[in-house]
């Protein structure tokens, strides 16, 4: 099974703002970026045969609608929920709250949000459902943290190392799964 992990294109959010579950809009260059991503993906994937899912976030759905109209949304593909920190500048979040989280983001939940381990659990639950099927190609349009957790699983990496991977806007990563074995073909293609 080939699994393509697609990150949404750039967003209309200033640098330094904490967002995850917030349903933010795409940047003004979205049309061009989406066209570029879809064109690159078409070189690897047959959209008419692939099973395609998208995070419900508008930034993902807009990209997915340009791939196909035949897709499903999946709640478990959402980006990390930062709870009370959503849409705040990182510099405005109290250090006594953010410092412990920065030291152990895998296990510590953000206030009224979730931990990275929580995100990984829901993403992997969905991934388990996918790999139990006999699909040839799967496309998942989602978010950088979700993609990182899936790649960590494929590489058997500890989640604390997930942010050693850069996942670019509009990027395509490809992993394969066959009879219990994972292979990472490329990241940020």
Break the chain into its structural domains and give their ranges: 2-186
* pLDDT in the model for residue 58: 98
* pLDDT in the model for residue 57: 98
Chain mean pLDDT for the chain: 97
Q: What is the CA radius of gyration of the chain?
A: 16
Q: Looking at residues 118-147, what average pLDDT do you find?
A: 97
Q: Looking at residues 51-75, what average pLDDT do you find?
A: 97
Distance CA 34, CA 8 (A): 8
* pLDDT in the model for residue 92: 97
Distance CA 96, CA 138 (A): 42
Residue 109 — pLDDT band, cuts 50, 70, 90?
very high
* pLDDT in the model for residue 159: 98
* pLDDT in the model for residue 63: 98
Q: What is the 3-state secondary structure (H, E, C) of 125-153?
A: HHHHHHHCCCCCEEEEEECHHHHHHHHHH
Q: Where does 2-186 sit in CATH, by number?
A: 3.40.50.1240
* pLDDT in the model for residue 80: 97
Distance CA 185, CA 189 (A): 10
């Amino acid at each position: 099974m080939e699994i393509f992990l697609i990150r949404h294109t750039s967003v209309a959010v200033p640098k330094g703002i904490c967002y995850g579950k917030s349903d933010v809009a795409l940047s003004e260059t979205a049309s061009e970026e989406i066209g570029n991503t879809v064109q690159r993906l078409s070189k690897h994937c047959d959209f008419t045969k692939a099973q395609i899912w998208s995070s419900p976030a508008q930034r993902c759905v807009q990209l997915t609608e340009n791939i196909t109209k035949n897709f499903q949304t999946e709640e478990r593909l959402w980006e990390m929920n930062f709870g009370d920190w959503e849409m705040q500048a990182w510099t405005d979040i109290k250090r006594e709250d953010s410092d412990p989280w920065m030291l152990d983001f895998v296990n510590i939940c953000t206030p009224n949000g979730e931990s990275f381990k929580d995100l990984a659990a829901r993403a992997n639950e969905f991934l388990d459902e996918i790999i139990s099927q006999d699909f040839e190609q799967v496309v998942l349009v989602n978010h950088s943290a979700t993609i990182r957790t899936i790649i960590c699983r494929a590489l058997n990496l500890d989640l604390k190392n997930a942010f050693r991977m850069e996942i670019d806007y509009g990027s395509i990563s490809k992993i394969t799964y066959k009879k219990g074995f994972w292979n990472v073909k490329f990241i940020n293609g």
